[in-house]
Amino acid sequence: MDREELRAIIEEVAAGTAGVDDALARLAGAGIDDLGFARIDTDRERRTGLAEVIFAPGKTDEQLEALVGRCLELHGKVLVTRLEPERALPLLGTFSELRFHDAARVLEARPDAEPAHPMVAVVSAGTSDLPVAEEAAVVLEHLGHPVDRVVDVGVAGIHRLFSQLDRLRAARAVVVAAGMEGALPSVVAGLVDRPVVAVPTSVGYGASFGGVAALLGMLNSCAAGIGVVNIDNGFGAATLVHRIASSDGGDR
């Protein structure tokens, strides 16, 4: 609850149109939809620009169905991440408005009228990084951004990147997904002036330690202008890019 809502309630109290107990109850219960096992944060989109998203792992099938149904009722849209295809199937049967993105493991229903946000780029170093890059790309599309996908431009043959720089410069921000040594974001950030959101992937073997090597490479980049998200967290990269790109212009 922010300052304006708070002021509105207190002004009602001052005006006598709301009682004290009513005001207290509204202050306590605002922005929560209680499902028993979960409390949907119904206020989140207004507050942070992004409605609550359902992270599938660790939730039972029953919980998933209840959450998806309630989100559709509340918002007319829903976004579920890290969903295995076999768990998506029954949900697709129950809710006809859903669509499943296999490579990205994302289930979603988009709002009818999509907002028109700036174009963003999603770059992947190698073929094995595609699932993570796709999670970012699909979430960004869900949020209303045209996405330009640039694939297989890893640093072992860096001329493949150079021929694509104009595409990166045309984007409002750039997601770069890379595993192994995670050097691609450094090179990209040294060549273009867009904000770079780096996603380490767990691609690699041996001393890659499930993406830790790539994560450390990105955190220690000698290039400026890079923000890092968690390993394999395409979703997190997308939400940061959305905040960067959706708040252009406006009243600030």
Please give the residues from 64 up to 93 whose contact with a copy of itself meets the rule CB under 8 A. Answer: 82
Which amino acid makes up residue 70?
R
* Number of residues engaging a copy of itself in binding (CB under 8 A): 125
Minimum distance from residue 84 beta carbon to a copy of itself (Å) = 14
**∠ CA(113), CA(117), CA(119), 5° rounding?**
130
Minimum distance from residue 181 beta carbon to a copy of itself (Å) = 4
Minimum distance from residue 114 beta carbon to a copy of itself (Å) = 18
Minimum distance from residue 11 beta carbon to a copy of itself (Å) = 5
Question: Cβ(198)–Cβ(226) under 8 Å?
Answer: yes
Binding to a copy of itself, residues 153-192 (CB under 8 A): 153-160, 162-163, 165-166, 170-173, 180-183, 186-187, 189-192
In Å, what is the CA distance from 150 to each residue of 125, 153, 201? 9, 8, 16
Binding to a copy of itself, residues 196-235 (CB under 8 A): 196-197, 200, 202-233, 235
SS3 1: coil
Q: Which x/- pattern over 17-36 shows residues binding a copy of itself (rule: CB under 8 A)? A: --xx--xx--xxxxxx---x
Long-range contacts of 207-213 (CB under 8 A, 24+ apart): 208/179, 208/180, 211/179, 213/180, 213/181, 213/182
Give CA–CA dist 32/89, Å, rounded.
29
Q: Which x/- pattern over 91-110 shows residues binding a copy of itself (rule: CB under 8 A)? A: --------------------
If binding is defined by CB under 8 A, does position 243 make contact with a copy of itself?
yes
